[in-house]
Copies of this chain bind each other. A is one copy, B any other.
Amino acid sequence: MSNEPPTRVTVWGENRVERSDADVRAIYPEGMHETIADAIREHLGGSVEVRTATLDDPQHGLARPLLAATDVLTWWGHLAHDEVRDDVAAAVQQRVLDGMGLVVLHSGHLSKPFTRLMGTSCNLRWREADDRELVWTVSPAHPIARGIPPVFAIERQEMYGEFFDIPPPDELVFISSFTGGEVIRSGCCFLRGKGRVFFFAPGHEHHPVYHHADVRRVIANAVLWAHVDQPCAVDTSTCVESPSGWFDERR
């Protein structure tokens, strides 16, 4: 296994609030995307190649060749979802269906790529306050729970609560509770086309969530899980007309 090429990861960040808000910049001086990229490098080392891309890069840093060279894309956005070009969002959706992994973080639940892939509103309850979030592992055999304790606390967090309007997750890994009593399915796996999607709820920009050791490990585990390293050769680009015995002739 040691000769496998590194997983090519693109960490995408909106990178606006980090520049406009001094409080956020104090927590994430290089932008949240750099902190997230570091978390992935810290855990996965030489088995990944991590680059970052942001909203204000040309084509949001997601031009076709760059997407084609990405095995796993992580996504954090918040107030500027509408500024993401529709054609880029469609290209991200298509890349997932073609086998790319997608790890959607926190407010990315309303991003165009995620809502297009889910088909639902992805709305949820929220509250900007100082709730403590407890993240509970409900699928201890899942690769994304590897090395994660049965429960971990994020001392100050924005509340994200049910009903969270997503399709029933194909695998539910984490459930969070908040001081106010709310709960949310906070770690959710979806298989879509030849790709894999993971949503992870923690991550408010005003709290140092991406510096939290367990959060960092979950993100790294999710990148590994989302990487489909040898997608099955099914053709999903069109409806394939298939005369009787097509699979015999193929051999």
Chain A interface (Cβ within 8 Å of chain B)?
1-2, 47, 93, 97, 99, 110, 116-121, 123-127, 129, 131-132, 134, 136-142, 145-151, 153, 159, 161-165, 167-168, 170-172, 175-177, 179-183, 185, 190-196, 228-234, 236-245, 247-248
Contacts and interface: CB of A to CB of B under 8 A. Distances in A.
As for how many copies of this chain the complex holds, the number is 4
A148 B162 CA distance: 14
Nearest to A115: B119
A123 to B, nearest CB: 5
A97 B125 contact: no
A243 B27 CA distance: 25
Nearest to A128: B241
Nearest to A195: B141
- Highest count of chain B CB atoms <10 Å: which of A121, A147, A159, A228: A121
Given A1-B1, A147-B230, A231-B141, A119 B121 contact: no
A191 to B, nearest CB: 5
B150 A234 contact: yes
